[in-house]
Homo-oligomer: A and B are copies of this chain.
Amino acid sequence: MMVSKEALFEQLASLIASAHQLHYEMTKDLPMDDITPLQYEILEFLSVKQPITLSQLSECKGISMPNTSREIKKLTDKGLCEKIDDAGDRRKQYVRLSASGEARMAESFTHMKQLFLQRVEGVQDAELTQMSEAIGVLRATVLRD
């Protein structure tokens, strides 16, 4: 089979839309009492890329430095993340989830996993393997970091 890059882009755009929708559906019922949507986004980002400096976080998420600083301060005040001084460069501060931040995100992921398990209930092993391999392929190609 021959695949044009144009057609592949259409597929990818569609995949991204579906992934976004799935994420929305898996997270919409989460508590979220104590934190704002942006703060949750930051926590989710930290749970994937950690530790990270404030500048890097600002750059990766497209949030200005002053606003990044403000939000991280709020999250730190809430005990959900913590700052670590860089040993070599005393200007830099790394941010990571605190123990309770990790716990908090673990809850989120558990909730999402429940919904995921419902969705793949009764799916055969062969198909699961196929899905796993498909994700592997994508992460190795377009979605590599």
Q: Which A residues contact B (CB, under 8 angstroms)?
A: 1-3, 5-9, 11-24, 28, 44-45, 48, 60-62, 109, 112-113, 116-117, 119-120, 123, 125, 127-139, 141-143, 145
Beta-carbon contact of B23 and A132 below 8 Å: no
Complexed CA–CA distance, A145 and B15 (Å) = 11
Q: Is chain A's binding surface mostly helix, strand, loop or mixed?
A: helix
- Which residue of the partner chain B has the closest CB to A24? B62
Instruction: Knowing A5-B128, A109-B13, A132-B11 are in contact, say whether A22-B120 is a contact too (CB < 8 A).
Output: no
Closest 9 CB pairs of A and B: A134-B134, A18-B143, A19-B19, A134-B137, A3-B132, A11-B135, A3-B128, A16-B19, A9-B113
Copies in the complex: 2
Choice from B9, B22, B123, B134 contacting A16 with Cβ under 8 Å: B22
A12: which B residues are within 8 A, CB to CB?
Answer: 116, 135
A125: which B residues are within 8 A, CB to CB?
Answer: 2-3
- Which residue of the partner chain B has the closest CB to A109? B13
